[in-house]
Structure 1
Amino acid sequence: MKAPLSVHYFQHSAGEGFGSCYDYLKQMGANITATEFFALPPEQNIEIEALPKVEDIDLLIVMGGAMSVNDEVHYPWLKTEKRWIRRYLAMGKPAIGLCLGGQMIANALGAAVSPNPEQERGWHPVYKVENIPESCFQMPDQISVMQWHGETFELPKGAVRLASNAACTNQLYQIGKNVLGFQFHPEITPRALQLFLDNAEMKPAFSGMYVQPAHELKQMSAAQFQAGNQLMNRAIDYVLAQSKLRE
Protein backbone atom coordinates (compact mmCIF):
# COMPACT_ATOMS: atom_id res chain seq x y z
CA MET A 1 0.00 0.00 0.00
CA LYS A 2 1.29 3.43 -0.93
CA ALA A 3 2.06 5.68 2.04
CA PRO A 4 -0.17 8.75 2.50
CA LEU A 5 1.08 12.05 1.13
CA SER A 6 3.11 13.88 3.80
CA VAL A 7 2.33 17.61 3.68
CA HIS A 8 4.03 20.17 5.89
CA TYR A 9 3.27 23.85 6.13
CA PHE A 10 5.10 26.77 7.70
CA GLN A 11 2.77 29.17 9.52
CA HIS A 12 4.10 32.61 10.44
CA SER A 13 1.08 34.39 11.94
CA ALA A 14 -1.60 33.06 14.28
CA GLY A 15 -4.28 34.73 12.17
CA GLU A 16 -3.13 33.21 8.89
CA GLY A 17 -3.90 29.51 8.82
CA PHE A 18 -4.07 26.86 6.11
CA GLY A 19 -7.21 28.15 4.38
CA SER A 20 -8.76 25.98 1.67
CA CYS A 21 -5.66 23.80 1.45
CA TYR A 22 -6.65 21.74 4.47
CA ASP A 23 -9.92 20.29 3.19
CA TYR A 24 -8.53 19.60 -0.28
CA LEU A 25 -5.47 17.78 1.02
CA LYS A 26 -7.51 15.83 3.56
CA GLN A 27 -9.70 14.62 0.69
CA MET A 28 -6.50 13.10 -0.74
CA GLY A 29 -5.88 11.33 2.55
CA ALA A 30 -2.78 13.42 3.25
CA ASN A 31 -1.04 13.59 6.59
CA ILE A 32 -0.70 17.29 7.42
CA THR A 33 1.79 18.72 9.90
CA ALA A 34 2.87 22.28 10.65
CA THR A 35 5.67 24.37 12.09
CA GLU A 36 4.07 27.30 13.94
CA PHE A 37 6.81 29.91 13.93
CA PHE A 38 4.39 32.47 15.37
CA ALA A 39 4.34 30.53 18.64
CA LEU A 40 8.03 31.28 19.24
CA PRO A 41 9.07 34.39 21.13
CA PRO A 42 10.16 36.85 18.40
CA GLU A 43 13.79 36.88 19.55
CA GLN A 44 14.07 33.09 19.81
CA ASN A 45 15.91 31.17 17.12
CA ILE A 46 15.25 27.56 16.23
CA GLU A 47 17.78 24.92 15.24
CA ILE A 48 17.29 23.41 11.80
CA GLU A 49 17.28 19.96 13.43
CA ALA A 50 14.04 20.94 15.18
CA LEU A 51 12.28 21.12 11.81
CA PRO A 52 11.13 18.00 9.94
CA LYS A 53 13.64 16.06 7.91
CA VAL A 54 13.36 17.21 4.30
CA GLU A 55 13.38 13.57 3.22
CA ASP A 56 10.13 12.95 5.10
CA ILE A 57 8.09 15.70 3.41
CA ASP A 58 6.30 15.22 0.07
CA LEU A 59 4.81 18.72 -0.28
CA LEU A 60 5.77 21.99 1.40
CA ILE A 61 3.40 24.96 1.60
CA VAL A 62 4.83 28.20 2.99
CA MET A 63 2.06 30.44 4.28
CA GLY A 64 1.83 34.22 4.56
CA GLY A 65 2.56 36.42 7.54
CA ALA A 66 2.74 39.96 8.83
CA MET A 67 6.53 40.25 9.03
CA SER A 68 9.05 40.88 6.24
CA VAL A 69 11.46 38.22 5.03
CA ASN A 70 14.11 40.86 5.77
CA ASP A 71 13.23 41.02 9.49
CA GLU A 72 15.90 38.51 10.51
CA VAL A 73 17.10 40.71 13.40
CA HIS A 74 13.67 40.65 15.00
CA TYR A 75 12.77 37.10 13.89
CA PRO A 76 16.05 35.13 13.81
CA TRP A 77 14.23 31.92 12.93
CA LEU A 78 13.71 33.37 9.43
CA LYS A 79 17.33 32.43 8.65
CA THR A 80 16.74 28.84 9.75
CA GLU A 81 13.54 28.61 7.76
CA LYS A 82 15.30 29.83 4.61
CA ARG A 83 18.11 27.30 5.10
CA TRP A 84 15.55 24.51 5.41
CA ILE A 85 13.72 25.69 2.29
CA ARG A 86 16.98 25.65 0.32
CA ARG A 87 17.71 22.09 1.45
CA TYR A 88 14.21 20.99 0.58
CA LEU A 89 14.20 22.57 -2.88
CA ALA A 90 17.64 21.15 -3.63
CA MET A 91 15.97 17.73 -3.58
CA GLY A 92 13.58 18.75 -6.37
CA LYS A 93 10.49 18.34 -4.21
CA PRO A 94 7.22 20.25 -4.74
CA ALA A 95 6.60 23.51 -2.91
CA ILE A 96 4.08 26.35 -2.97
CA GLY A 97 4.58 29.78 -1.40
CA LEU A 98 1.66 32.07 -0.59
CA CYS A 99 2.22 35.84 -0.22
CA LEU A 100 5.01 36.01 2.40
CA GLY A 101 5.61 32.36 1.52
CA GLY A 102 6.25 33.22 -2.12
CA GLN A 103 8.63 35.91 -0.93
CA MET A 104 10.36 33.44 1.43
CA ILE A 105 11.04 30.94 -1.33
CA ALA A 106 12.29 33.67 -3.66
CA ASN A 107 14.53 35.16 -0.97
CA ALA A 108 15.85 31.76 0.10
CA LEU A 109 17.00 31.36 -3.52
CA GLY A 110 18.77 34.72 -3.61
CA ALA A 111 16.07 37.06 -4.94
CA ALA A 112 15.47 40.42 -3.27
CA VAL A 113 12.25 41.27 -1.46
CA SER A 114 11.45 44.97 -1.07
CA PRO A 115 8.52 47.39 -0.74
CA ASN A 116 6.19 47.32 -3.71
CA PRO A 117 5.43 50.70 -5.34
CA GLU A 118 1.77 50.15 -4.39
CA GLN A 119 0.28 48.38 -1.40
CA GLU A 120 -2.47 45.89 -2.20
CA ARG A 121 -5.24 44.84 0.15
CA GLY A 122 -8.51 43.51 -1.15
CA TRP A 123 -9.97 41.84 -4.20
CA HIS A 124 -8.03 42.78 -7.32
CA PRO A 125 -7.59 41.16 -10.74
CA VAL A 126 -4.40 39.48 -11.84
CA TYR A 127 -3.63 38.58 -15.43
CA LYS A 128 -1.91 35.68 -17.08
CA VAL A 129 1.37 36.66 -18.72
CA GLU A 130 1.44 36.14 -22.48
CA ASN A 131 3.48 33.45 -24.22
CA ILE A 132 3.90 31.17 -21.20
CA PRO A 133 5.32 27.77 -22.25
CA GLU A 134 2.61 25.11 -22.42
CA SER A 135 4.49 22.99 -19.90
CA CYS A 136 4.07 25.69 -17.23
CA PHE A 137 1.20 26.03 -14.78
CA GLN A 138 -1.64 27.69 -16.64
CA MET A 139 -3.47 30.62 -15.04
CA PRO A 140 -6.86 31.87 -16.23
CA ASP A 141 -6.47 34.89 -18.49
CA GLN A 142 -7.89 36.98 -15.62
CA ILE A 143 -8.94 36.15 -12.08
CA SER A 144 -9.97 38.31 -9.13
CA VAL A 145 -7.98 37.34 -6.02
CA MET A 146 -7.36 38.46 -2.46
CA GLN A 147 -4.27 40.62 -2.03
CA TRP A 148 -2.68 41.51 1.31
CA HIS A 149 0.87 42.80 0.92
CA GLY A 150 3.11 45.83 0.95
CA GLU A 151 6.28 44.11 -0.27
CA THR A 152 7.02 41.93 -3.24
CA PHE A 153 9.69 39.60 -4.59
CA GLU A 154 12.03 39.79 -7.52
CA LEU A 155 12.08 36.65 -9.63
CA PRO A 156 14.59 34.04 -8.48
CA LYS A 157 17.16 32.91 -11.02
CA GLY A 158 15.56 30.60 -13.55
CA ALA A 159 11.99 31.50 -12.55
CA VAL A 160 9.22 32.17 -15.08
CA ARG A 161 6.70 34.94 -14.38
CA LEU A 162 3.17 33.59 -14.80
CA ALA A 163 0.93 36.45 -13.66
CA SER A 164 1.03 40.21 -13.17
CA ASN A 165 -1.18 43.25 -12.65
CA ALA A 166 -0.99 47.04 -12.68
CA ALA A 167 -0.11 47.30 -9.00
CA CYS A 168 2.54 44.57 -8.77
CA THR A 169 4.61 43.16 -11.61
CA ASN A 170 5.36 39.77 -10.05
CA GLN A 171 2.18 38.03 -8.94
CA LEU A 172 3.09 34.41 -9.60
CA TYR A 173 6.27 32.62 -10.62
CA GLN A 174 7.32 29.07 -11.35
CA ILE A 175 10.69 27.41 -10.83
CA GLY A 176 11.28 24.20 -12.71
CA LYS A 177 8.08 22.19 -12.69
CA ASN A 178 7.69 21.73 -8.95
CA VAL A 179 7.69 25.21 -7.35
CA LEU A 180 5.02 27.93 -7.50
CA GLY A 181 5.31 31.25 -5.68
CA PHE A 182 2.15 33.38 -5.33
CA GLN A 183 2.09 37.02 -4.24
CA PHE A 184 -1.66 36.78 -3.60
CA HIS A 185 -3.89 34.48 -1.52
CA PRO A 186 -5.71 31.84 -3.60
CA GLU A 187 -6.26 29.81 -0.41
CA ILE A 188 -8.42 32.47 1.28
CA THR A 189 -11.82 31.40 2.62
CA PRO A 190 -14.50 33.53 4.34
CA ARG A 191 -13.34 32.23 7.73
CA ALA A 192 -9.67 32.85 6.90
CA LEU A 193 -10.50 36.40 5.78
CA GLN A 194 -12.28 37.05 9.07
CA LEU A 195 -9.17 35.85 10.92
CA PHE A 196 -7.10 38.31 8.88
CA LEU A 197 -9.42 41.13 9.83
CA ASP A 198 -9.58 40.15 13.51
CA ASN A 199 -5.83 39.72 13.97
CA ALA A 200 -4.13 42.98 14.95
CA GLU A 201 -0.74 41.97 13.54
CA MET A 202 -2.32 41.54 10.10
CA LYS A 203 -3.33 45.22 10.04
CA PRO A 204 -0.32 47.32 9.09
CA ALA A 205 -1.01 50.84 7.87
CA PHE A 206 -2.32 50.12 4.37
CA SER A 207 -3.00 53.06 2.08
CA GLY A 208 -3.27 53.82 -1.59
CA MET A 209 -5.50 53.25 -4.59
CA TYR A 210 -5.31 49.46 -4.31
CA VAL A 211 -6.45 49.24 -0.69
CA GLN A 212 -10.08 48.36 0.02
CA PRO A 213 -11.80 49.12 3.35
CA ALA A 214 -12.63 46.14 5.57
CA HIS A 215 -16.38 46.28 4.96
CA GLU A 216 -15.85 45.90 1.21
CA LEU A 217 -13.57 42.89 1.67
CA LYS A 218 -16.39 40.87 3.17
CA GLN A 219 -19.02 41.67 0.56
CA MET A 220 -17.84 39.15 -2.01
CA SER A 221 -19.91 36.08 -2.85
CA ALA A 222 -18.90 32.51 -2.12
CA ALA A 223 -18.06 32.12 -5.81
CA GLN A 224 -15.39 34.81 -5.43
CA PHE A 225 -13.57 32.72 -2.84
CA GLN A 226 -14.15 29.49 -4.74
CA ALA A 227 -12.40 30.75 -7.88
CA GLY A 228 -9.19 31.29 -5.94
CA ASN A 229 -9.60 28.03 -4.02
CA GLN A 230 -9.96 26.12 -7.27
CA LEU A 231 -6.80 27.78 -8.56
CA MET A 232 -5.05 26.69 -5.36
CA ASN A 233 -6.27 23.12 -5.82
CA ARG A 234 -4.97 23.10 -9.37
CA ALA A 235 -1.62 24.42 -8.16
CA ILE A 236 -1.36 21.56 -5.65
CA ASP A 237 -2.26 19.04 -8.34
CA TYR A 238 0.27 20.55 -10.72
CA VAL A 239 3.32 20.48 -8.46
CA LEU A 240 2.47 16.99 -7.21
CA ALA A 241 1.94 15.66 -10.73
CA GLN A 242 5.20 17.16 -11.93
CA SER A 243 7.05 15.50 -9.06
CA LYS A 244 5.36 12.18 -9.89
CA LEU A 245 4.20 11.76 -6.30
CA ARG A 246 0.67 11.03 -7.44
CA GLU A 247 1.42 8.33 -9.98
Structure 2
Amino acid sequence: MKSHLKVHYFQHIAGEGFGSCYEYLKQLAAQITATEFFALPLDRPLDIEALPTVEEVDLLIIMGGTMSVNDEANFPWLTVEKRWLRRYLSLGKPALGLCLGGQLIANALGAAVSRNSEQELGWSVVNKVKNISTECFELPHTINVMQWHSETFEIPKGAIHLAENDVCRNQMYQIGKNVLGFQFHPEITPETLSLFLKDEDELSKFAGQYVQTELSLRKTPKEKFQEGNKLLKEAIEYVLRRSAY
Protein backbone atom coordinates (compact mmCIF):
# COMPACT_ATOMS: atom_id res chain seq x y z
CA MET A 1 0.00 0.00 0.00
CA LYS A 2 1.32 3.45 -0.86
CA SER A 3 2.62 5.58 2.00
CA HIS A 4 0.91 8.69 0.60
CA LEU A 5 -2.38 7.27 -0.56
CA LYS A 6 -4.39 9.63 -2.78
CA VAL A 7 -8.10 8.95 -2.38
CA HIS A 8 -10.67 10.69 -4.53
CA TYR A 9 -14.41 10.44 -4.21
CA PHE A 10 -17.27 11.36 -6.50
CA GLN A 11 -20.19 12.94 -4.65
CA HIS A 12 -23.54 13.33 -6.42
CA ILE A 13 -25.82 14.95 -3.83
CA ALA A 14 -25.17 17.34 -0.96
CA GLY A 15 -24.84 15.57 2.36
CA GLU A 16 -23.86 12.18 0.98
CA GLY A 17 -20.18 12.27 1.74
CA PHE A 18 -17.70 9.62 2.84
CA GLY A 19 -19.69 8.27 5.77
CA SER A 20 -17.94 5.68 7.90
CA CYS A 21 -14.78 5.30 5.83
CA TYR A 22 -13.54 8.87 6.37
CA GLU A 23 -11.96 8.20 9.78
CA TYR A 24 -10.37 4.97 8.56
CA LEU A 25 -8.81 6.69 5.55
CA LYS A 26 -7.46 9.47 7.76
CA GLN A 27 -5.83 6.77 9.92
CA LEU A 28 -4.01 5.69 6.76
CA ALA A 29 -2.81 9.30 6.35
CA ALA A 30 -4.62 9.42 3.01
CA GLN A 31 -4.85 12.62 1.00
CA ILE A 32 -8.58 12.97 0.33
CA THR A 33 -10.07 15.03 -2.49
CA ALA A 34 -13.52 15.15 -4.04
CA THR A 35 -15.48 16.03 -7.15
CA GLU A 36 -18.88 17.45 -6.13
CA PHE A 37 -21.03 16.91 -9.20
CA PHE A 38 -24.09 18.32 -7.46
CA ALA A 39 -22.41 21.73 -7.26
CA LEU A 40 -21.74 21.96 -11.00
CA PRO A 41 -23.93 24.27 -13.12
CA LEU A 42 -26.27 22.17 -15.27
CA ASP A 43 -26.31 24.72 -18.09
CA ARG A 44 -22.55 24.49 -18.65
CA PRO A 45 -20.93 21.34 -20.08
CA LEU A 46 -18.33 19.62 -17.92
CA ASP A 47 -14.92 19.18 -19.54
CA ILE A 48 -13.36 15.84 -18.65
CA GLU A 49 -10.08 17.67 -18.19
CA ALA A 50 -11.63 19.43 -15.19
CA LEU A 51 -11.59 16.11 -13.32
CA PRO A 52 -8.37 14.74 -11.79
CA THR A 53 -6.13 12.82 -14.12
CA VAL A 54 -6.57 9.09 -13.57
CA GLU A 55 -2.89 8.80 -12.71
CA GLU A 56 -3.40 11.15 -9.74
CA VAL A 57 -5.85 8.81 -7.99
CA ASP A 58 -4.81 5.71 -6.00
CA LEU A 59 -8.32 4.81 -4.78
CA LEU A 60 -11.66 5.97 -6.15
CA ILE A 61 -14.87 5.83 -4.10
CA ILE A 62 -18.11 6.63 -5.92
CA MET A 63 -20.97 7.63 -3.66
CA GLY A 64 -24.74 7.31 -4.08
CA GLY A 65 -27.31 9.78 -5.34
CA THR A 66 -30.98 10.31 -6.06
CA MET A 67 -30.65 10.51 -9.85
CA SER A 68 -30.64 7.64 -12.33
CA VAL A 69 -27.47 6.74 -14.21
CA ASN A 70 -29.65 6.88 -17.33
CA ASP A 71 -30.73 10.51 -16.79
CA GLU A 72 -27.96 12.13 -18.80
CA ALA A 73 -30.39 14.64 -20.31
CA ASN A 74 -30.98 16.28 -16.91
CA PHE A 75 -27.52 15.59 -15.51
CA PRO A 76 -25.12 15.92 -18.47
CA TRP A 77 -22.06 15.43 -16.26
CA LEU A 78 -23.05 11.73 -16.02
CA THR A 79 -21.73 11.21 -19.55
CA VAL A 80 -18.36 12.70 -18.62
CA GLU A 81 -18.20 10.81 -15.34
CA LYS A 82 -18.72 7.49 -17.15
CA ARG A 83 -16.03 8.35 -19.72
CA TRP A 84 -13.60 9.15 -16.89
CA LEU A 85 -14.52 5.90 -15.14
CA ARG A 86 -13.70 3.86 -18.23
CA ARG A 87 -10.26 5.50 -18.40
CA TYR A 88 -9.61 4.87 -14.72
CA LEU A 89 -10.81 1.27 -14.68
CA SER A 90 -8.82 0.41 -17.81
CA LEU A 91 -5.65 0.92 -15.75
CA GLY A 92 -6.67 -1.73 -13.20
CA LYS A 93 -6.76 0.76 -10.34
CA PRO A 94 -8.85 0.21 -7.18
CA ALA A 95 -12.42 1.48 -7.00
CA LEU A 96 -15.52 1.07 -4.85
CA GLY A 97 -19.03 1.99 -6.02
CA LEU A 98 -21.76 2.47 -3.40
CA CYS A 99 -25.42 2.28 -4.52
CA LEU A 100 -25.54 4.77 -7.44
CA GLY A 101 -21.75 4.36 -7.54
CA GLY A 102 -22.09 0.62 -8.12
CA GLN A 103 -24.65 1.31 -10.83
CA LEU A 104 -22.33 3.85 -12.48
CA ILE A 105 -19.39 1.45 -12.69
CA ALA A 106 -21.63 -1.27 -14.12
CA ASN A 107 -23.22 1.10 -16.64
CA ALA A 108 -19.89 2.62 -17.68
CA LEU A 109 -18.78 -0.92 -18.56
CA GLY A 110 -21.86 -1.63 -20.67
CA ALA A 111 -24.24 -3.24 -18.14
CA ALA A 112 -27.87 -2.10 -18.00
CA VAL A 113 -29.34 -0.25 -15.04
CA SER A 114 -33.13 -0.39 -14.80
CA ARG A 115 -36.07 -0.15 -12.43
CA ASN A 116 -36.15 -2.93 -9.83
CA SER A 117 -39.46 -4.75 -9.35
CA GLU A 118 -39.60 -3.42 -5.75
CA GLN A 119 -38.12 -0.40 -4.06
CA GLU A 120 -35.88 -0.98 -1.06
CA LEU A 121 -35.51 1.59 1.70
CA GLY A 122 -34.34 0.55 5.14
CA TRP A 123 -32.48 -2.32 6.77
CA SER A 124 -32.47 -5.68 5.01
CA VAL A 125 -30.52 -8.92 5.00
CA VAL A 126 -28.21 -9.59 2.05
CA ASN A 127 -26.85 -13.08 1.40
CA LYS A 128 -23.51 -14.21 0.03
CA VAL A 129 -23.91 -15.98 -3.31
CA LYS A 130 -23.09 -19.68 -2.99
CA ASN A 131 -20.01 -21.32 -4.51
CA ILE A 132 -17.94 -18.15 -4.95
CA SER A 133 -14.23 -18.70 -5.51
CA THR A 134 -12.06 -18.38 -2.42
CA GLU A 135 -10.01 -15.87 -4.41
CA CYS A 136 -12.86 -13.36 -4.20
CA PHE A 137 -13.59 -10.75 -1.55
CA GLU A 138 -14.74 -12.62 1.55
CA LEU A 139 -18.31 -11.81 2.60
CA PRO A 140 -20.18 -13.10 5.63
CA HIS A 141 -22.95 -15.55 4.73
CA THR A 142 -25.54 -12.93 5.72
CA ILE A 143 -25.25 -9.25 6.55
CA ASN A 144 -27.83 -6.66 7.61
CA VAL A 145 -27.33 -3.44 5.61
CA MET A 146 -29.03 -0.19 4.66
CA GLN A 147 -30.87 -0.10 1.32
CA TRP A 148 -32.05 3.03 -0.50
CA HIS A 149 -32.77 2.41 -4.18
CA SER A 150 -35.40 2.06 -6.89
CA GLU A 151 -33.11 0.81 -9.66
CA THR A 152 -30.74 -2.12 -9.99
CA PHE A 153 -27.64 -2.94 -12.04
CA GLU A 154 -26.97 -5.96 -14.20
CA ILE A 155 -23.70 -7.69 -13.35
CA PRO A 156 -21.06 -6.34 -15.78
CA LYS A 157 -19.54 -8.74 -18.29
CA GLY A 158 -16.62 -10.56 -16.70
CA ALA A 159 -17.62 -9.58 -13.16
CA ILE A 160 -18.42 -12.01 -10.34
CA HIS A 161 -21.79 -11.88 -8.60
CA LEU A 162 -21.08 -11.74 -4.84
CA ALA A 163 -24.34 -10.99 -2.98
CA GLU A 164 -28.11 -11.09 -3.41
CA ASN A 165 -31.46 -11.05 -1.64
CA ASP A 166 -35.03 -11.94 -2.57
CA VAL A 167 -36.02 -8.33 -3.33
CA CYS A 168 -33.10 -7.35 -5.54
CA ARG A 169 -30.97 -10.16 -6.94
CA ASN A 170 -27.85 -8.14 -7.76
CA GLN A 171 -26.55 -6.66 -4.51
CA MET A 172 -22.79 -6.79 -5.02
CA TYR A 173 -20.18 -7.70 -7.64
CA GLN A 174 -16.43 -7.86 -8.10
CA ILE A 175 -14.34 -7.03 -11.17
CA GLY A 176 -10.84 -8.46 -11.14
CA LYS A 177 -9.19 -7.94 -7.77
CA ASN A 178 -9.54 -4.17 -7.72
CA VAL A 179 -13.23 -3.21 -8.09
CA LEU A 180 -16.21 -3.83 -5.80
CA GLY A 181 -19.70 -2.58 -6.60
CA PHE A 182 -22.44 -2.41 -3.94
CA GLN A 183 -26.17 -1.87 -4.39
CA PHE A 184 -26.56 -1.06 -0.69
CA HIS A 185 -24.99 1.56 1.60
CA PRO A 186 -22.21 0.06 3.77
CA GLU A 187 -20.94 3.56 4.58
CA ILE A 188 -24.10 4.69 6.36
CA THR A 189 -23.72 6.19 9.85
CA PRO A 190 -26.33 7.66 12.21
CA GLU A 191 -25.32 11.12 11.01
CA THR A 192 -25.63 10.35 7.29
CA LEU A 193 -28.93 8.52 7.80
CA SER A 194 -30.27 11.60 9.57
CA LEU A 195 -29.28 13.71 6.55
CA PHE A 196 -30.97 11.26 4.16
CA LEU A 197 -34.18 11.43 6.18
CA LYS A 198 -34.34 15.23 5.91
CA ASP A 199 -35.07 14.93 2.16
CA GLU A 200 -38.86 14.74 2.25
CA ASP A 201 -39.17 14.91 -1.54
CA GLU A 202 -36.96 11.85 -1.91
CA LEU A 203 -38.79 9.92 0.82
CA SER A 204 -42.14 10.59 -0.87
CA LYS A 205 -40.96 8.68 -3.98
CA PHE A 206 -40.73 5.39 -2.05
CA ALA A 207 -43.54 2.98 -1.27
CA GLY A 208 -44.11 -0.76 -0.91
CA GLN A 209 -43.59 -3.62 1.50
CA TYR A 210 -39.80 -3.21 1.54
CA VAL A 211 -39.88 0.48 2.48
CA GLN A 212 -39.53 1.21 6.19
CA THR A 213 -41.05 4.23 7.86
CA GLU A 214 -39.08 7.34 8.69
CA LEU A 215 -39.98 6.90 12.36
CA SER A 216 -38.61 3.35 12.52
CA LEU A 217 -35.39 4.38 10.78
CA ARG A 218 -34.86 7.26 13.20
CA LYS A 219 -34.99 4.71 16.04
CA THR A 220 -32.17 2.60 14.58
CA PRO A 221 -29.70 1.69 17.37
CA LYS A 222 -26.10 2.77 16.73
CA GLU A 223 -24.75 -0.78 16.82
CA LYS A 224 -26.82 -1.69 13.74
CA PHE A 225 -24.54 0.43 11.53
CA GLN A 226 -21.42 -1.51 12.50
CA GLU A 227 -21.83 -4.52 10.18
CA GLY A 228 -21.86 -2.44 7.01
CA ASN A 229 -19.12 -0.11 8.24
CA LYS A 230 -16.85 -3.08 9.00
CA LEU A 231 -17.58 -4.55 5.57
CA LEU A 232 -16.62 -1.29 3.85
CA LYS A 233 -13.34 -1.06 5.78
CA GLU A 234 -12.51 -4.62 4.72
CA ALA A 235 -13.46 -3.80 1.11
CA ILE A 236 -11.05 -0.84 1.07
CA GLU A 237 -8.28 -3.01 2.48
CA TYR A 238 -9.00 -5.70 -0.10
CA VAL A 239 -8.91 -3.56 -3.25
CA LEU A 240 -5.80 -1.70 -2.09
CA ARG A 241 -3.92 -4.86 -1.16
CA ARG A 242 -4.92 -6.90 -4.21
CA SER A 243 -4.21 -4.14 -6.72
CA ALA A 244 -0.85 -3.28 -5.08
CA TYR A 245 -1.67 0.43 -4.76
SS in 2 for 1:96: strand
Q: Give the distance between the partners of 1:170 and 1:124, measured in 2 at CA.
A: 14
Tell me: CA distance 1:201–1:180, structure 2 relative to 1, closer, same or farther (3 Å). farther
Q: 2 CA distance for matches of 1:203 and 1:16? A: 15
Instruction: Map 1:1-247; keep pairs closer than 5 Å.
Output: 3-200=3-200, 202-245=202-245
DSSP 3-state at the match of 2:68? coil
CA shift at 1:204, angstroms? 4.8
For residues 172-213 of structure 1, the C-alpha deviation after alignment (integer angstroms, 9 at most, x for no partner) is 000001000000000000000011011345435101110000
| AA in 2 matched with 1:205 | K
Q: Indicate the larger mover: 200-209 or 148-157.
A: 200-209
Partners in 2 of 1:97 and 1:165 — Cα distance? Answer: 19
Further displaced range: 13-22 or 126-135 = 13-22
Q: Would the alpha carbon gap of residues 125 and 35 (structure 1) be closer, same or farther in structure 2, given more than 3 Å must change?
A: same
Mean alpha-carbon deviation: is it higher for 115-124 or for 195-204? Answer: 195-204
Residue identity over aligned pairs, in percent, reads 64
Query: 1:65 touches 1:202 (CA, 8 Å); kept in 2?
Result: no
Give the TM-score of the pair, scaled to structure 1.
0.96
Unaligned runs of 5+ in 1: none
Task: Give SS of 1:150's match.
Answer: strand
Tell me, what secondary structure is at the counterpart of 2:185? coil
2:241, 2:227 → 1: CA distance? Answer: 21
Gaps of 5+ in 2: none
Q: Please report the RMSD computed on the Cα atoms of aligned residues, expressed in angstroms.
A: 1.1
The Cα offsets for residues 99-132 of structure 1, whole Å up to 9 and x where unpaired, read as 0000000000000000000100000000000001
- Pairwise CA distance, 1:93: 0.1
Cα distance change on mapping 1:72 and 1:89 into 2, 3 Å: same
Post-superposition offset of 1:16: 1.2
SS at match of 2:41: coil
What stretches of structure 1 move > 6 A for 4+ residues in a row?
none
Q: Deviations over 1:5-48 (max 9, x none)?
A: 00000000003111011111001100000000000133432100
- Residue deviations 1:138-179 (CA, integer Å, cap 9, x gap): 111111100000000001110111000010000000000100
| Paired residue total | 244
